[in-house]
Amino acid sequence: MTDRKIRKATDVLILGAGPAGLVLGNLLQDHGVDCVVLERAEPAHLRTRARAGFLAAGTVRILERHGLADGLHRHGRAHSTCEFRTTDGRFRLDYSRLGRGERHTVYPQQQLVTDLLTRFTAAGGRVEFATEAVAVLGADTGRPSVTVREADGRPATWRARYVAGCDGRHGAARRSLPAGSVRRHHHDHGVTWLGLLAEAPPSLDAVGYAVHERGFAGHMARTREITRYYLQYERGTPAGAWSEDRIWDELELRMRTTQYGPLRRGRITQRAVVDLESDVLEPLRHGALFLVGDAAGLISPSAAKGANLAVLAASLLARALADDLLHGDPAGLDAYSARCLTSIWRAQEFSHWMIGLLHGPSGPDGAALFHDALRRSRLASLRTSRSHQDWFAEHYVGV
């Protein structure tokens, strides 16, 4: 007798219950397509895991179209202003009046995930928590399977017509890709951030980008009581190396609070070291396995694109899967990879531009001085050129 259990899943097996997986699950369920979500974490972890918080206008439209926007309409806040602080002064852009006239909605990702999870399970959707996907097998066949480790530690196998890898950069979907089947585009931007969550009200009514000779500092509101901050950080330094007082002192120095007013301090509740990297796989379809969200392409947080790209890809894949499974039309599945990669690369290009705008090599050598002069010129153009501002606004909000 074996302790391996064979379970026949329905049509689509979704790996991961983040925004990509839960949007996909909700949309498939609305189409009448059977699906199961496998998630290695417990529900409480999903509901409290702090991640991104800026939803683009297109993302909000997708959520509205499918009845998934009630929570963000009740609790989200419209946002349309960013402020740049530099050695040459400060300036603001109201990007809702530029480009396509669109704005962000600030809504913490953990609240969106809670909304999506509640709706999915209330409508009968099935999520297997504390279930870790180990490997995707037979993706090039008509009946792939996924081996998992269940909450009690025992192995099991799930089967489905299609598998959606929404389980991130280090998940089973990526690990299971056959050697030589994918082209990886990877770039380390050479910049590290210390990401912080503080129990402190926002100090600005804008996203704050501070360009300073000691490194970048950023201010992003999350709620009326919580603010996310970023500090450019020396690579290899542990997240806990600096005291809270040192962190706040450094934030105030780089954000030039002696000129523009103090920050509202509070207890720092979360720290994480983030190495800014870009990582894209091509193609995003491998037989019956589809890559979605961070599994498809990792993007730096410099332009707040990750969750928005995940929702867009999930909506495209849901429609394509429904067309194939319900109507026998595979055209959407065939086009999925190319359509997603177009958006991913546009977002990557803007993120790369933002990294260059906000950071630069330090030191007195000629290359660093040249880069800093270019950066000052770019910021001056962004401050004064309407066409440059329109380009920024369109790409800052769009995916």
pLDDT tens column, 307-333: 999 999 999 999 999 999 999 999 999
First CA to last CA across the chain, in angstroms? 52
For residue 350, give both structure tokens.
């803007």
Q: In this structure, what CATH number is given to the domain that contains residue 308?
A: 3.50.50.60
Q: What are the pLDDT digits (tens) for 71-120?
A: 999 999 999 999 999 999 999 999 999 999 999 999 988 999 999 999 99
- Cα–Cα distance for residue pair 34/40, rounded to 1 Å: 20
Domain membership flag for residue 302: yes
Spatial CA neighbour of 125 closest among 30, 15, 8, 42: 30
Residues 23 and 119 in one domain: yes
Q: What are the pLDDT digits (tens) for 375-392?
A: 999 999 999 999 999 999
Domain membership flag for residue 48: yes
Could you tell me which residue, 124 or 4, shows the higher pLDDT?
Answer: 124
pLDDT at 2 exceeding the cut of 60: no
pLDDT at 231 exceeding the cut of 50: yes
Domain membership flag for residue 171: yes
Domain residues for 10?
Answer: 5-53+108-182+283-353
Residue positions annotated with a catalytic role = 79, 209, 301, 305, 396
Axis-axis angle for helices 366-384, 331-358 (nearest 10): 110
Full-prediction pTM beyond 0.85? yes
Instruction: Work out how many domains the chain is built from and give that number.
Output: 2
Host H or E run for residue 393: helix 386-397
Q: Return mean pLDDT, the chain.
A: 93
Q: In this structure, what CATH number is given to the domain that contains residue 217?
A: 3.30.9.10
Residues 246 and 165 in one domain: no
Strand arrangement of the beta sheet that strand 5-8 belongs to:
5-8, 155-159, 145-149, 132-137
Residues 163 and 265 in one domain: no
- Cα–Cα distance for residue pair 177/284, rounded to 1 Å: 10
Residue 20 in contact with residue 293, Cβ under 8 Å? yes
Residue 107 in contact with residue 53, Cβ under 8 Å? yes
Q: What are the pLDDT digits (tens) for 128-163?
A: 999 999 999 999 987 899 999 998 889 999 999 999
Residues 213 and 262 in one domain: yes
- pLDDT level of residue 235 (50, 70, 90 thresholds): very high
Domain membership flag for residue 372: no
**Residue at a domain's end among 215, 249, 276:** 276
Residues 119 and 40 in one domain: yes
Predicted pLDDT of residue 1: 37
